[in-house]
Structure formats: structure tokens, C-alpha cells
């Protein structure tokens, strides 16, 4: 994919995600793998008002080749996920209330979801009886150290759809931007369902 096409797709994704309220206060960052490397949102821009000037273009090694502004520190986490997950061509990082709160309510290092028909919105999941496991990592301002944790986890349990960062948000991957958006919407529905279930059943039933 060419850089201009990838940027146009991420601009459209930003508008949709922003309307959902999942990227408040210029939060979040988006990226896409391209033929020449990667494109990633620059830091500090409202994701609902992205434009060609809000992206940084990187080569295959992650070196800047075009674009103004400051890359987010989390850019390195995006690049790390592309290395770990060969089928990932888009990474969307968002900060919804549901993802952020649920990542704190669940004290274990994995959110396990089962029994929801909407699990099938994620590629490869064929039944509501399957267990969909989303790893949860402790938030860390040291992005290199956080990336190493993801890498270590991936060695024994491959990351497929997404990861949660505790008290921070979710990183979702997809083979293309449409799949990434579908994964994001499906997961956000599941996160909201889990929060509602916990309110009714009590947290003790989920530990």
C-alpha cells in the first residue's frame, strides 16, 4: 500500500473513532504498514480532525523520511507489534472508558471473554463458546521496556487481535484498516458488556 492511501484511510478511521468518543483530548495514535515502511500519527492532534500534515512517514527501520511534528513515544510500540505480528498492517490505539476501566478492574494479566456472540466479530473466532483472551500489561512510561514485555508474552502466547494496557487503553491490530476497525468496535462492545456484567454479579465473581 502507498503512503497516501494509508494516510487517507487512517484519516477516515480517526473521524469514526472520534465520533465514538474513544480518543478524547488528542489521545490515541494510529499507524499503518506501507510499501515503503510505515505512517503514524504525530503527537498532539485531535484524531477526529486528522489531515495529511498530521502524519509522519517512516522507513522500514523506523527512521523518519517525511512529515513534521513530534512522533508519539508510543510509535516504538506500534513498530514492535508489526515485528511480532506478521499479519498486522494497521494498529489503532484508543482510550475508551470501557477499555481503560476494565483493564483496572481485572487484576489478572489476561481478560478472558466467553459466551458472547460478538466474539465472532474478531477474525478466527468461530463460536461464542470459544475463549477470547486479551493480554493485559502494566502501564509503563518506558516504552522500550513495555515492548519487551509484549515480546516475551508473544513468545509463549502469540498476540492475535489486541492488547490492553492497564489504566491506559487498548491496541488493536488488523490486516487492513477495515478489519482493525471491526476488531475495535467488536472489542469495545465486549468490554462494555463485561463491565455491565461485573456491576451486576460483583467483582468477586471475576477474580
Residues at the binding site for Zn(2+) are: 93, 95
Q: Strands, E, within 5-106: which ranges?
A: 29-34, 37-41, 55-58, 64-66, 90-94
- C-alpha–C-alpha distance, residues 178 and 165, integer Å: 23
Residue stretches of the annotated binding site: 93, 95
Burial 2-13 (b: 16+ CB within 10 A, else e): ebeebbebbbeb
Please name which of 42, 203, 188, 196 lies closest in space to residue 119, comparing C-alpha atoms: 188
Which CB contacts under 8 angstroms, 24+ apart, belong to 15-21? 15/48, 15/50, 16/181, 17/47, 17/48, 17/92, 17/94, 17/181, 17/184, 18/46, 18/47, 18/48, 18/49, 19/48, 20/96, 20/185, 20/188, 21/96, 21/97
Q: Cell 515502511, residue? A: 37
Amino acid at each position: 500500500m502507498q503512503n497516501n492511501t494509508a494516510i487517507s484511510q487512517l484519516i477516515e478511521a480517526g473521524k469514526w473513532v472520534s465520533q465514538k468518543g474513544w480518543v478524547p483530548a488528542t489521545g490515541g495514535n494510529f499507524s499503518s504498514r506501507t510499501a515503503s515502511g510505515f505512517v503514524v500519527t504525530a503527537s498532539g492532534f485531535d484524531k477526529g480532525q486528522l489531515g495529511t500534515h498530521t502524519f509522519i512517514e517512516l522507513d522500514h527501520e523506523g527512521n523518519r523520511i517525511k512529515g513534521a511534528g513530534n512522533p508519539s513515544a508510543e510509535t516504538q510500540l506500534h513498530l514492535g507489534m508489526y515485528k511480532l505480528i506478521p499479519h498486522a498492517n494497521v494498529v489503532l490505539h484508543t482510550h475508551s472508558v470501557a477499555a481503560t476501566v476494565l483493564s483496572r478492574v481485572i487484576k489478572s494479566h489476561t481478560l478472558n471473554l466467553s459466551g458472547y456472540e460478538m466474539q465472532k466479530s474478531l477474525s478466527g473466532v468461530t463460536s461464542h463458546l470459544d475463549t477470547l483472551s486479551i493480554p493485559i500489561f502494566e502501564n509503563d512510561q518506558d516504552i522500550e521496556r513495555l515492548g519487551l514485555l509484549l515480546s516475551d508474552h508473544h513468545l509463549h502466547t502469540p498476540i492475535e487481535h489486541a492488547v490492553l494496557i492497564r489504566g491506559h487503553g487498548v491496541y488493536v491490530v488488523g490486516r487492513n484498516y477495515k478489519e482493525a476497525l471491526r476488531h475495535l468496535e467488536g472489542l469495545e462492545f465486549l468490554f462494555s458488556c463485561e463491565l455491565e456484567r461485573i456491576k451486576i454479579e460483583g467483582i468477586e465473581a471475576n477474580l
